[in-house]
Structure 1
């Protein structure tokens, strides 16, 4: 049974748009998923300026999951990682007590091309909010796949349908990439309390509701949850067990407002190390003036 439908809110990041879905005023989280952005789709021309890139910035208390359908993005972080992500691969970055990273569109700058994907954040359980920061990359071929009755997909993270993803997580969840033929019906996994499906391409019906691109369908806990594709459709399906209330400010997520204030102070004072291979600039705390990158530790 459908509980609510959330429509993306488009916003510009300076060179491309994203569709913000979570957090939403009436639905802050789905399981541990506390943030969900639809990147693009956009077709970059060759020679895009560097200010389209996402400069180094900090996170605490979460894991970020970057998953692309088209294009390429270069990730660099403060634990020494440098990793391009391409369609179907998974970049899973655990911030824990603090990490910084950048996201650069170097391939598109050189050659032009599409950019389309999803970036989501998963709140860490309270016991793991201060864990050591880490970064893991997983090739598309290592993700479990399924194909049945007009539905094809792969398990990006967690557990579903008897499958287990190799992606290292900190709490019970599932995250699926699903492609549906016209008329195919898909039943969401029922092992976790909170579940949702986001329409990346195409359209689905759930009950008497028809939802197209940019809509997230959130389902009632403990009730059957199914969608039927009315045309060829791409869904990202997600959910898991709640981890409790979380506060979000800028790029910081925590169960404690005081911890967020500490993170803000640490970033402002330069106590958070910049990415090893990208330490020449950074994004200041919102409201702070632009200044030289001499403050954050390089």
Structure 2
């Protein structure tokens, strides 16, 4: 039932803010179209924290970023002019397409302190949509299809699952779900997609007789059918259809190596617009950035 278990690896975003990076993994770069999966926190941030903890303006192409929080707040600003706070059980869905820049600020934490905990995922766009016009959408808690059933509280973030359809516009078949499980509760895992995974953000669950704890992602076989909580647990269930090989270069995703190189040159040359109010700050392209394939290495 479980093909592989991936442990999160700690990665610094600079300024003292670390994430638990799950995807890409050397032996499993993607699950369906999901090509990045970062676990933010949980972390307590005291009031007066410096701006160095913010995620400074940086660019993307060829993907959608999906930010979902369990607690805390983040302020999104982008080069389309959107400025939007994301709070628990809300979704910021930004489609980079042909190119966008954005920043993520911890303004609430700076003012009064905060307990930050959530997930940011990247969804690779299918080849025909890689150069689509950039876009941004925000979905409040009431916009997300939700349900309760025998110790399970669910929120459908994107796609189709459990007989429900989310509002977020997607470009390929996928599903993305948050399950809040009480001890002893069980939940079915959506079927009908060729690739699926379960990530434990907090707590402990059992799947096919195997224990999973916080920070672990189980990549599933077609036989996997349900997850059972042995403690209060927050679980993300995700999957979909592959979109083909993708190359990654820093914050860029594309089916073309040449397109990645062009995006990097555009960023270094200052040809990508920065979010309003962020013009004096930007994230430089790392000196050690290299192109990596999405295929298993």
- Normalising by structure 1, what TM-score? 0.94
State the 1:278 CA deviation. 2.1
1:56 matches 2:25 = no
| 1:111-132 superposed Cα distances (whole Å, 9 cap, x missing partner) | 1111111000000000000000
- How do 1:1-298 and structure 2 match up within 5 A? 1-13=1-13, 14-220=15-221, 222-287=222-287
How far apart are the structure 1 equivalents of 2:128 and 2:236? 28
> Which secondary structure does the structure 2 equivalent of 1:131 belong to?
coil
Q: Which moved more, 1:202-211 or 1:124-133?
A: 202-211
State the 1:75 CA deviation. 0.6
| 1:181-236 superposed Cα distances (whole Å, 9 cap, x missing partner) | 2122222100211111100111011123211000001101x323322111111101
How far apart are the structure 1 equivalents of 2:114 and 2:223? 42
Whether contact under 8 Å (1:219, 1:225) holds in the other structure is no
Structure 2 partner of 1:292 = none
How far apart are the structure 1 equivalents of 2:16 and 2:77? 20
How far apart are the structure 2 equivalents of 1:69 and 1:150? 18
> Which secondary structure does the structure 2 equivalent of 1:262 belong to?
helix
State the 1:2 CA deviation. 1.0
Whether contact under 8 Å (2:2, 2:224) holds in the other structure is no
How far apart are the structure 2 equivalents of 1:20 and 1:243? 21
State the 1:143 CA deviation. 0.5
How far apart are the structure 2 equivalents of 1:285 and 1:140? 35
State the 1:162 CA deviation. 1.1
Whether contact under 8 Å (2:177, 2:238) holds in the other structure is yes
How far apart are the structure 2 equivalents of 1:51 and 1:166? 34
State the 1:150 CA deviation. 2.1
Whether contact under 8 Å (2:75, 2:85) holds in the other structure is yes
How far apart are the structure 2 equivalents of 1:146 and 1:192? 22
Q: Structure 1 stretches of 5 or more lacking a match?
A: 289-298
Whether contact under 8 Å (1:47, 1:110) holds in the other structure is yes
| 1:128-171 superposed Cα distances (whole Å, 9 cap, x missing partner) | 00000011001011110122232111101111011000111111
Count of paired positions: 287
Q: Structure 2 stretches of 5 or more lacking a match?
A: 289-297
Whether contact under 8 Å (2:41, 2:116) holds in the other structure is yes
Structure 2 partner of 1:295 = none
> Which secondary structure does the structure 1 equivalent of 2:258 belong to?
helix
Whether contact under 8 Å (2:73, 2:108) holds in the other structure is yes
State the 1:280 CA deviation. 1.8
How far apart are the structure 2 equivalents of 1:89 and 1:185? 24
Q: CA RMSD in A?
A: 1.1
Whether contact under 8 Å (2:90, 2:141) holds in the other structure is yes
